[in-house]
A and B are shown apart, each in its own frame.
Chain A
Amino acid sequence: MGNKQTVFTHEQLEEYQVGVGVSPELAQLVWDAGSQESPQSLVCDIRLSVWVWSDWRGKRRDNPEASWFLSPQDCTFFTRKEIMRLFYRYQDLAPQLVPLDYTTCPEVKVPYELISSMPELKDNPFRQRIAQVFSQDGDGHMTLENFLDMFSVMSEMAPRDLKAYYAFKIYDFNNDDYICAWDLEQTVTRLTRGELSAEEVTLVCEKVLDEADSDHDGRLSLEDFQNMILRAPDFLSTFHIRI
């Protein structure tokens, strides 16, 4: 079964309450029945056995850091296997920086330049905004959790409202929770790469505000944006990055 001391700590387990596993009341019952160990360590044992039995095959099974990923499964839209695959993509970006052992929960951030060099993002006109929105401090440097969050929201399983929320944040360049005319100008410039003249860009921004701004305050709030997205059903399939 493996030495549970090296795989994960009791505190980690207690923190990462896993959907696949044992409920604490069951552990409580077992403990009441006279076991000498504390409920947490019992939970530890039972979870370990569940994990070993689980259908997750592959050569990474022996690696201790895999245990860390029992919990993100319930916070993202990915399965265990996909989370491990994403972890190895993340690790490949900066092999010296990212440790293979995540049981100590290291605070590691991959800098923005490496993130934006990923093939999925490198030619995207909004890659800088995407990295800023999903990074912890808004500067584009992402931890593993930020990375998983980003691809989870951009996956095809995320619901429309969640995507609309993050799309709104991406297009909101000045982070003021409203898409104003300046934000729109920035968006359109990035979309058209200088093909449109300045008057055309202004005209486009005006037209967009005309169409989507329902309370006529000169900028789009989140509700305006969501309302507009409802009229464009392609949004769900286009706001999607495959990894």
Chain B
Amino acid sequence: MLSDDQVNEIIIEVENVPSGVQRHLASSQIFLRKSTANPTFSMVSSSMTDITDCQIFSNGNDGRHNRLLRFSSLNESISQIHHSPECLGMDETCTFHETVQGQKLISSLIPMTSRDRIKAIRNQPRTMQEKRELRKIVDKEKSKQLLEANCCAQCLSSLSLAYRRSKGNLSELLNYISFWQKTFKVIGGKFGTSVLSYFSFLRWLLKFNIFSFVMNFSFIIIPQFTVAEKNTLQFTGLEFFTGAGYFRDTVMYYGFYTNSTIQHGTSGPFYNMQLAYIFTIGACLVVCFFSLLFSMAKYFRNNFINPHIYSRGIAKLVFCWDFTVTHEKAVKLKQKNLSTEIRENLSEIRQENNRLTLNQQLTQFSAHVAAWLVSTGVAAACCLAVYYLAEYNSEFLKTHRNPGAVLLLPFVVSCINLVVPRFYSMFRLVERYEVPRQEVYILLIRNILLKISIVGILCYYWLNIVALSGEECWETLIGQDIYRLLLMDFVFSLADSLLGEFLRRFIGTKFITSLSLQEFDIARNVLELIYAQTLTWLGIFFCPLLPFIQMITLFIMFYVKNISLMMNFQPPSKAWRASQMITFFIFLLFFPSFTGVLCSLAITIWRLKPSADCGPFRGLPSFIESIYSWIDTLSRRSGYLWVVWIYQNLIGSVHFFFILTLIVLIITYLYWQITEGRKIMIRLLHEQIINEGKDKMFLIEKLTKLQDMEKRANPSALILERREVEKQSPLHLEELSAAHDLRLRRSMHEENPEV
């Protein structure tokens, strides 16, 4: 609406504003004048921002040493800063740090601790040189302040410096341990973030196992090696699969461990194996627990969104392009898939208003019910089958002495785990879901139900039948069972990857070419990982070397899956919401899996009687007796009474846990209320934004109408009016500049389609 020279005119007029405005305003105006040949919107708007800011501080303040000690939030600074980065490229000495925003930012950074300051500076959207300048200035100010402060503050600051330095070194050390970076890059480059999430989940589980193994090895296995008895059994190759035979009398199983207090020499240090065993395994599990909890909280916080505000829309498809994909063919494929998805999304939006008839709804509902009944029935049937097989197996083994016969149960369980999930996937043909994501979740829930019920049934069998059967060394038997299950599962996964997937590719490319290559089923693979990890955690008490075995298994699986992925799969065609799914998987790992393990171990330790002549707890009435007797011995010694006190009053008393639970509930309630209040706030603010937008449009229209009318009435009077503007006070200038702002925005908006 306004022509270019009118825009120029406005700029020039504003520049001739009387003094009282700070120096930097003048310099930024000069910058604007230089570049009016190419008037971009941001520069004009930044001038407006500068003006409005200046008005506040123009009251007798020195430009250069303007020190604003008001605390301002960084977000405000960021949103203001992004309007004036152009200031820096100039030959005038208007550096960012002399602008008002810069001063605000600096003054907000000074009172922070150095750690927060570094973090805040890093998160600034500035170039590195600017960040360095900023830090230099802030550090100078800070050191000036510090020299005046007392030596206590100086001590604290040097302490925090030392702490930060050590933390930096530690994180560098941890980065050494991060392996497979290059492989991740290649996988991400070809297949994108979603497939990569499976591999990072695998690596994360590997870290758990490495930690558990290191703990077990240092605290239990090495001491046991020093008092190891000679192994009199024969070694045949079958032990790797059955876990029995030669391995029975090695550090692999519970039964081999001594219950004595190891002491080398008469006055050497002594090592109580019982306590070591229970405390090491307890410590492993506690660390895993907290680590899972924190990961879950972190992912939940980053990735959780209210389901009803989740956009089923198209903006997410447009703005969340996967930048990790770097392979040329993968990029082309992804572009093609994205186009397909966008088209589908467009057609969905058009069809959104189709409601189903009552008949169709009933059919769908009954299909769902039938599917659930069938899946639950199949799961129950499998559980019963496993239970009866397990019972029969023990009798079968007593009569048949074939060592390979023990593999029957693991074989059947692995077959069930292989076949039934694929059977569940076939329900897709019958059931229809409105939201495709629901389908994935329901499939996952069914699969996890199956796997956890099988593990549950086996736990019941082991803890209720095997443990009470009176066999010698029942813990070792359970350990062997778990080892066999794990190994058979590994063998089946290997076979599936090496044979099944290659076969599928062969069929897809040679015979039925319409099938083409398959896509990596992330959900099924992650569930297999969760299942294996559940077994590992379950077995860690009965077979301390199990984390080591799982470590090796995961290592091999990584490479096998990687090779198979590169050769047999194509990149995913649909956007797969990786972050939400990973949150869900970690939750699954925590909730049925880890808590179930904790429950079974609790039952073992508190209720079951250890076997009489093997293992570190032989002869005791229960496993927990070792701790009770230890507390008893401690209470007789004078130096350790505080431990006894803690045990009796904090761990052993009901009141303490009651109070703790009460406090946790209160805190949870408080946070919940805060969240609810914030949701209401968000809704109100959102409405406010919409209203402001409407107001703005209304005002703009009104102004343009007035403008038009005046222009038509008297074109020369317009310029006269503007000349009067400069004589007015700065406050009026602000209002008028805001009006100019609106008009310019509107004009820019109209001019833009021509660009």
CB distance from B301 to the nearest CB of A (A): 10
Evaluate contact between B686 and A222: CB separation under 8 angstroms.
no
Tally of A-B Cβ pairs under 8 angstroms: 246
A167 to B322, CA, bound (A): 12
The segment from B10-18, B122-130, B497-505, B668-676 that touches chain A is B122-130
Q: Interface code A57-75, partner B: CB below 8 Å = 1, 0 otherwise?
A: 0000000000000011111
Judged by a CB distance under 8 angstroms, whether B335 is at the interface is yes
State whether A74 and B697 are in contact (beta carbons under 8 Å apart), knowing that A79-B168, A123-B331, A149-B127 are contacts in the complex.
Answer: no
- A88 close to chain B: CB less than 8 A: no
Interface 0/1 of A104-120, CB less than 8 Å to B:
00000000000000011
Give chain B nearest CB distance to A88 CB in angstroms. Answer: 15
B314 lies within 8 A of A176 (CB): no
Q: Which chain A residues numbered 178 to 194 have a C-beta less than 8 Å away from chain B?
A: 178, 180-182, 184, 187-188, 191-193
Residues of B within 8 A of A38 (CB): none
B592 within 8 A of A: no
A48 to chain B, nearest CB (A): 16
Cross-chain contact A195 with B692 (CB below 8 angstroms):
no
Chain A positions 124-176 with a Cβ under 8 Å from a chain B Cβ? 124-126, 136-137, 145-146, 148-149, 154, 158-162, 165-167, 171, 174-176
Selected contact of B311 from candidates A17, A73, A223, A228, CB within 8 Å = A228
Cross-chain contact B128 with A75 (CB below 8 angstroms): yes
Given A193-B335, A233-B302, A234-B193; A200-B579 close (CB under 8 Å): no
B752 at interface (Cβ–Cβ under 8 A)? yes
- Contact at B331–A166, with CB atoms within 8 Å? no
Inter-subunit contact B697/A75 (CB<8 Å): no
Q: A9-25 interface mask toward B, CB cutoff 8 Å, 1 = contact, 0 = none?
A: 00000011101100111
- CB-defined interface of A205-243 with B at 8 Å, one 1/0 digit per residue? 001100110111111001101001111111111111110
Task: State whether B136 touches A17 (Cβ < 8 A).
Answer: yes
Question: Using an 8 Å CB-CB cutoff, how does the interface string of B9-46 with A read, 1 for contact, 0 for none?
Answer: 00000000000000000000000000000001110010
B121-165 CB mask vs A (1 if < 8 Å, else 0) is 111110111011001100100010011000000100110010011
Interface extent on B, as a size class?
Answer: 35 or more
**With A and B bound together, what is the CA distance between A175 and B311 in angstroms?**
27
Cross-chain pairs A/B with CB under 8 angstroms, 17 sampled:
A28-B147, A55-B173, A75-B135, A126-B321, A174-B752, A175-B40, A180-B749, A187-B319, A207-B313, A207-B314, A218-B749, A222-B82, A231-B305, A232-B315, A232-B320, A234-B577, A237-B197
**Residue positions of A touching B, CB distance < 8 A:** 15-17, 19-20, 23-26, 28, 54-55, 71-77, 79-82, 119-126, 136-137, 145-146, 148-149, 154, 158-162, 165-167, 171, 174-178, 180-182, 184, 187-188, 191-193, 195-196, 200, 203-204, 207-208, 211-212, 214-219, 222-223, 225, 228-242
Q: Which 3 A-B pairs have the closest CB atoms?
A: A215-B693, A195-B339, A233-B303
- Which residues of B pack against A, CB within 8 Å? 40-42, 45, 75, 78-79, 82-83, 89, 114, 118, 121-125, 127-129, 131-132, 135-136, 139, 143, 146-147, 154, 157-158, 161, 164-165, 168-169, 171-173, 175, 181, 184-185, 188, 193, 197, 302-305, 309-311, 313-316, 318-328, 331-332, 335-336, 338-339, 342-343, 346, 349, 575, 577-580, 686, 689-690, 692-694, 696-697, 745, 748-749, 752-753, 755
Q: A214-B693, A234-B193, A238-B323 are in contact. List 12 more A-B contacts (CB 8 A).
A: A124-B326, A171-B319, A176-B748, A181-B753, A188-B342, A192-B339, A204-B342, A211-B313, A217-B693, A233-B302, A234-B579, A238-B322
